[in-house]
Amino acid sequence: MAHLNHTRSAAGRINGARSLNIDLIAIGIGLTLAALIRFNILPSISF
Amino acid sequence: MSAITIPSPTDVQTASPARRLLSVLPGMALLFGIGLLGKLLEHSQTLLHARYPQIAVPHIEYVLWAIVLGLIIGNTIGVRDVFRPGVATYELWLKLGIVLVGGKFLLQDVLHIGGLSLALVAVELVLSISVMTLLRRIFYLPPKLTSLLAIGSSICGVTAIMAAQGAIEPEEEDTSTAIAAILTLGAIALFTFPAIGHILHMSQQGYGMWAGLAVDNTAESLVTGALYGDEAGRWTVLAKTARSSFIGFVVLAYAVYWSSRGLAPDVPHKGLFLWHKFPKFILGFIALSILATAGFFTHGQLTSLSNLSRWAFLPAFAGVGLRTNLRDLVGQGWRPLIVGILGEIFIALVTLTLVYWSYNHGVAR
């Protein structure tokens, strides 16, 4: 039981770390793109 | 089945960064390919209508095309192993899209509508948890499964359930069942909410708020909003983001409850716990909103940012279709699904009433 709990806690921590990484990457890419647009390094983008 | 697979410690990638990057390329190409095909189909439809106006063809948005194409591929030939790591990046595209859409909101809108969303979420939380607890007694569901269903349906779908997994330590089967129920109900919302919105002639803002407050999983919520229109999609982002910021508080409340019964570990540092559970990408959304409010961008640059967010959402929408497994609709046991459906119908009605009340009493603008 203790081993199972330990394994679950580890899984929870790893999920949290993965989620944090994705969040930080999303923020990093988002702010970088915004800066590139702000300083006219990226041309205007259409969709 | 990918949608309900719970990552385990063995899932930790130990490969080099270059190898990891290579491993995600096929799946990312698939996501963008499906999204672009959806856009192409929408464009072809527009051209067809311009050329043959006498033929009545319903206009189908790229959002719906991307989901339908993803659903067809995911449920017929399936997603091969080589594509799976890249398809999993849909979450990154989704969060990037949310961060970028922050530039479309002035800070005062974020504070006003975000604050309103928080108030509505608080009401929604109390009611949904009460109803789930009542339904648990009627349908004899395991208590921790009910906790997971209540957390997932009142806050933020799969993310909240995963956040609760380490805190309240449910059986893995309960976690899988709760995630499958939430994803199934999200898939149902994709097709029912826009229809209800049109029947009720809801405004873009009102509908967007409703989709953000009622649909649980972030991806399905955003798609449900975008299916009604671009503006509705943006309001959905705002309402859903405010709702997601509650994750830490709800998971903490449940962790303390189960801990007090000796069925989960103690939570020694509650402030730290809240910070760990807080979805950090929301900070990027707020940062861009602050920059836009401060006049950091010109009008044209804000339009470019908005268009970039739509490019980011494109593969995310394709990912929603790809990972929705229709067989799960029947393969998860009827009791959790019935509880989930009843709970969701209740939440949808409550949030619809709350949104209507807010707009008719001048609380929202």
Give the total number of structural domains in chain B. 1
Q: What is the pLDDT of residue A17?
A: 63
In a domain, A23, yes or no: yes
| Whether B266 contacts B259, CB under 8 Å | yes
Q: What is the pLDDT of residue B5?
A: 43
Compare B256 and B333 and report the one with higher pLDDT.
Answer: B256
Q: What is the pLDDT of residue B342?
A: 82
Q: Whole-angstrom Cα distance, residue B197 to residue B306? A: 24
**Residue A37: closest C-alpha in chain B:** B301
Q: Which of A6, A38, A33 is nearest to B294 (CA)?
A: A38
To test the contact with chain A by mutation, choose from B100, B173, B306 the residue with the greatest count of A C-beta atoms within 10 A, namely: B100
Q: What is the pLDDT of residue B32?
A: 96
SS3 of residue B203 by DSSP: coil
Q: Whole-angstrom Cα distance, residue B333 to residue B141? A: 11
Joined tokens for residue B337 = 């699904």
- Residue B248: which H helix or E strand, with range? helix B247-260
Q: What is the pLDDT of residue A4?
A: 43
**Where does the pLDDT of residue B6 fall: very low under 50, low under 70, confident under 90, or very high at 90 and above?**
very low
CA distance B71 to chain A (A): 24
Contacts 24+ apart (CB under 8 A), A5-9: A5/B169, A5/B265, A7/B8, A7/B9, A8/B165, A8/B166, A8/B169, A9/B166, A9/B169, A9/B265
Residues on chain B touching A20 (C-beta within 8 angstroms) = 280
**Residue B300: closest C-alpha in chain A:** A44
Point out the residue among A10, A14, A26 whose CB comes nearest to the CB of B284: A26
| B123-152 confidence digits (pLDDT tens) | 877 887 788 888 878 888 787 888 888 888
| B244-263 confidence digits (pLDDT tens) | 887 888 888 888 888 887 77
In a domain, B301, yes or no: yes
In a domain, B225, yes or no: yes
Interface predicted TM-score of the whole assembly (ipTM), two decimals: 0.76
Q: Which domain holds residue B285?
A: 103-312+327-360
CA distance A14 to chain B (A): 7
**Residue A40: closest C-alpha in chain B:** B301
SS3 of residue A40 by DSSP: coil
Joined tokens for residue B332 = 């998860």
Point out the residue among A8, A24, A38 whose CB comes nearest to the CB of B301: A38
Q: Which domain holds residue A13?
A: 1-39
Point out the residue among B103, B280, B304 whose CB comes nearest to the CB of A27: B280
Burial class (CB in 10 A: 0-12, 13-18, 19+), B330: exposed
Q: Which of A27, A47, A29, A44 is nearest to B226 (CA)?
A: A47
Say whether pLDDT at B61 is over 70: yes
In a domain, B61, yes or no: no
Interchain CB distance below 8 Å, A14 and B287: no
Burial class (CB in 10 A: 0-12, 13-18, 19+), B290: middle
CA distance B363 to chain A (A): 31
| B163-202 confidence digits (pLDDT tens) | 777 677 777 677 777 777 777 778 888 889 999 999 998 9
Size of interface A-B (CB pairs under 8 A): 106
Task: End-to-end CA distance of chain A: give it in Å, rounded.
Answer: 54
Helices B204-214 & B107-139 angle (0-180, nearest 10) = 40
Point out the residue among B9, B297, B304 whose CB comes nearest to the CB of A45: B304
Q: Which of B243, B258, B29 is nearest to B145 (CA)?
A: B258
In a domain, A46, yes or no: no
Averaged pLDDT for residues B334-343: 76
Interchain CB distance below 8 Å, B304 and A37: yes
Write the CA distances from B108 to B104, B218, B282, B365, integer angstroms.
12, 23, 16, 12
Percent of chain B with pLDDT over 70: 91
In a domain, B257, yes or no: yes
Longest CA pairwise span in chain A (Å) = 58
Write the CA distances from A27 to B131, B163, B247, B293, integer angstroms.
36, 20, 19, 18
Q: Whole-angstrom Cα distance, residue B249 to residue B274? A: 7
Give the total number of structural domains in chain A. 1
In a domain, A44, yes or no: no
In a domain, A2, yes or no: yes
CA distance A1 to chain B (A): 11
Residues on chain A touching B297 (C-beta within 8 angstroms) = 34, 37-38
| Whether B24 contacts B89, CB under 8 Å | yes
Q: What is the pLDDT of residue B185?
A: 78
Joined tokens for residue B60 = 């189908």
Q: What is the pLDDT of residue A18?
A: 65
Averaged pLDDT for residues B320-342: 73
In a domain, A47, yes or no: no
CA distance B316 to chain A (A): 13
Whether pTM exceeds 0.80: no
| Whether B278 contacts B245, CB under 8 Å | yes
Averaged pLDDT for residues A26-38: 96
Beta-carbon contacts of B103 under 8 Å, excluding residues fewer than 6 positions away, are A34, B288, B289, B291, B292, B297, B302, B305, B306, B309
In a domain, A30, yes or no: yes
